[in-house]
Structure 1
Amino acid sequence: MNVFIIGVGLIGGSMALDIQKEYAEAVIYGVDLNDENLNEAIKLGVIHKKATFTDLEIATIVIVSIPVDAQLEVVPKVLDHINDHCLVIDAGSTKQQICKVLENHPKRRNFLAGHPIAGTEFSGPSAAITGLFQNKTNIICEVEKTAFKLQEKALEIFAKLGMRIRYMDAVSHDKHIAYVSHLSHISAFMLGKTVINKEKNERDIFDMAGSGFASTVRLAKSSPAMWTPIFKQNKENILETLEEYIGNLKHFKELMEQDNFSEIYNEMENTNYIKQILNGIK
């Protein structure tokens, strides 16, 4: 099995490690614009060999894990080079634009639109870890447009990696993910900015920061090169979520100004219900 990883960072690299573990016969090829990334990935055992697009004709599976703006150009190019039996999977955090770009491609049936909801704030080949996808949700969009045999191949791999599968249309995916992922990253970035701007003495920040601050702002360490294109592609949905979020923050501020701490208590108590929701999806 010849597995090509385009973008040997956290997601692509972690998939490569798990596939090697589950499929001893797999040969992992890496394709990346940054040759240093490829050298590091080989050194770390994330991939076995470097490759280029001209090598894709021998690919059994291609996993594309690059910024979503680059995907719009790269995935069609990948489909142009593969053989008729190859499966191409993307791992992008937005789905509408990539599905739109590929809807009339002659090899659309070879493509599966996926989004494994897993990750850390780190990037690059050194961020790749085994077991990253265990018990994580993988959203598959427009599955009916992928050849059935290739669907089966993908589901076998996802099962071996420990993923739970959800099926969704691309429009719904982008709307829902704006709330549960994209807004979280914006909040973390802006919280980090607020604290940095206010606390010019960095020693005070680090001396006083507890686990609550660290866990909340953790996502602010994520790659801007990855997240800016995501925000751009999902702009309309994110603006909607921001309106609601800002409205809730303004309401909280008003309650503070009114010394209405009994209502603040009620707001927080009602929101505690999220514990039950999150416990139910673990």
Structure 2
Amino acid sequence: MNVFIVGVGLIGGSLALDIRKEFDNAVIYGIDRNEDHLEEALSLEIIDKKATYEDLAIADIVVVSIPVDVSLIVIPEILNHIPDNCLVLDVGSTKELVCDTIADHPKRRNFLATHPIAGTEFSGPQAALTDLYRGKTNIICEVEKTAFKLQEKALEIFSKLGMRIRYMDPKSHDKHIAYVSHLSHISSFMLGKTVIEKEKNERDIFDMAGSGFASTVRLAKSSPAMWTPIFKQNKNNVIETLDEYIQNLQNFKTLLEQDNFSEIYSEMENTNHIKQILNGIQEVKLP
């Protein structure tokens, strides 16, 4: 099985490691415009060989794991090079625009739009992890537009990697992910920005930063090259979530100004319910 990873960073590299572990016959090829990443992926044994788009004629599976703006250009080109029985997986964080972009491509049925909900704040081949996807949810969009035999191939891979599957239309995916992922990253970046700006005048501020601060700003270490195109593609949904978030922050500020601490207590107590929601998600068992 010839597997091509386009973009050998955290997401693509972790998929490569797990596919290699679960499929003895897999030969992993790497395509990346960063030559240093390819050399590093080779040395870490994430990939077996370096490749180019011309080599896609022998591909059985292509995983596209690159910034979402570049994907809009690269995926149609990949589809032009693959054989008829090849499966192309996109694992980006936005789905509506990429699905629209390749809607009329002659090899649309070779393409499956997916979004594994997994990752860390780190990037590059050295960030790749084995078992990153085990127990994680994988959103699949427009599955009915992918050839059935290629759907089966994809589901076999996802099953062996230990993923849970959810089906969703691209528009709904982008709206929901704006709340649970994109807004989280913006919050982390802006909290980090606020503290860094304050630290310029108060050098001791980071001496007081504990684990709560570190966990809250963890996502601020994420790659701007990856996240700026995501915010651009999902701009309308992100603005909607920001409007609601800013309103909640403003309401909290008003309660403080009014010394209404009983209402602040009530707001926090009601929000504590999220513990039950998240615990319920974590306790879901794989079939």
- Asked if TM exceeds 0.5, the reply is yes
Q: 2:199·2:206 contact (CA, 8 Å) conserved in 1?
A: no
Partner of 1:269: 269
The aligned amino acid for 1:99 is C
Q: Does structure 1 residue 22 correspond to structure 2 residue 22?
A: yes
Partner of 2:162: 162
Partner of 1:250: 250
Distance between the aligned counterparts of 1:202 and 1:116, measured in 2? 41
Matches within 5 A, 1:157-236: 157-200=157-200, 204-236=204-236
Q: Does structure 1 residue 130 correspond to structure 2 residue 130?
A: yes
How far is the alpha carbon of 1:95 from its aligned partner? 0.3
Q: Does structure 1 residue 241 correspond to structure 2 residue 241?
A: yes
How far is the alpha carbon of 1:204 from its aligned partner? 2.3
The aligned amino acid for 1:208 is M
How far is the alpha carbon of 1:12 from its aligned partner? 0.2
Relative distance call for 1:9 and 1:269 in structure 2 (3 A) is same
The aligned amino acid for 1:211 is S
Q: Does structure 1 residue 142 correspond to structure 2 residue 142?
A: yes
Q: Deviations over 1:232-261 (max 9, x none)?
A: 000000000000000000000000000000
The aligned amino acid for 1:89 is L
Distance between the aligned counterparts of 1:105 and 1:236, measured in 2? 26
How far is the alpha carbon of 1:3 from its aligned partner? 0.2
Partner of 1:121: 121
How far is the alpha carbon of 1:206 from its aligned partner? 3.2
The aligned amino acid for 1:209 is A
Relative distance call for 1:120 and 1:202 in structure 2 (3 A) is farther
Structure 1 runs (4+) deviating above 2 angstroms are 201-206
Which TM-score applies when normalising by structure 1? 0.99
The aligned amino acid for 1:31 is I
Unaligned runs of 5+ in 1: none
Partner SS, residue 281 of structure 1 = helix
How far is the alpha carbon of 1:196 from its aligned partner? 0.3
Distance between the aligned counterparts of 2:115 and 2:223, measured in 1? 18
Q: 2:10·2:123 contact (CA, 8 Å) conserved in 1?
A: yes
Partner of 2:55: 55
Distance between the aligned counterparts of 2:33 and 2:209, measured in 1? 37
Distance between the aligned counterparts of 1:129 and 1:50, measured in 2? 20
Partner SS, residue 200 of structure 2 = coil
Q: 2:185·2:219 contact (CA, 8 Å) conserved in 1?
A: yes
Q: Deviations over 1:190-215 (max 9, x none)?
A: 00000000111686243211110000
Distance between the aligned counterparts of 2:276 and 2:176, measured in 1? 19
Partner SS, residue 204 of structure 2 = helix
Distance between the aligned counterparts of 1:41 and 1:127, measured in 2? 10
Q: Aligned-pair RMSD on alpha carbons?
A: 0.8
Partner of 1:78: 78
Partner SS, residue 266 of structure 2 = helix
Q: Deviations over 1:46-79 (max 9, x none)?
A: 1010000000000000000000000000000000
What is the total number of aligned residue pairs between the two structures? 282
Partner SS, residue 265 of structure 2 = helix
Q: Deviations over 1:140-190 (max 9, x none)?
A: 000000000000000010011111000000000000000000000000000
Partner of 2:285: none
Distance between the aligned counterparts of 1:247 and 1:227, measured in 2? 24
How far is the alpha carbon of 1:280 from its aligned partner? 1.0
Unaligned runs of 5+ in 2: 283-287
Distance between the aligned counterparts of 1:104 and 1:179, measured in 2? 30
Distance between the aligned counterparts of 1:150 and 1:278, measured in 2? 33
Distance between the aligned counterparts of 1:173 and 1:194, measured in 2? 30
Q: Deviations over 1:79-126 (max 9, x none)?
A: 000000000000000000000001000000000000000000000000
Distance between the aligned counterparts of 1:50 and 1:188, measured in 2? 36
Q: Report the more deviating stretch, 192-201 or 136-145.
A: 192-201
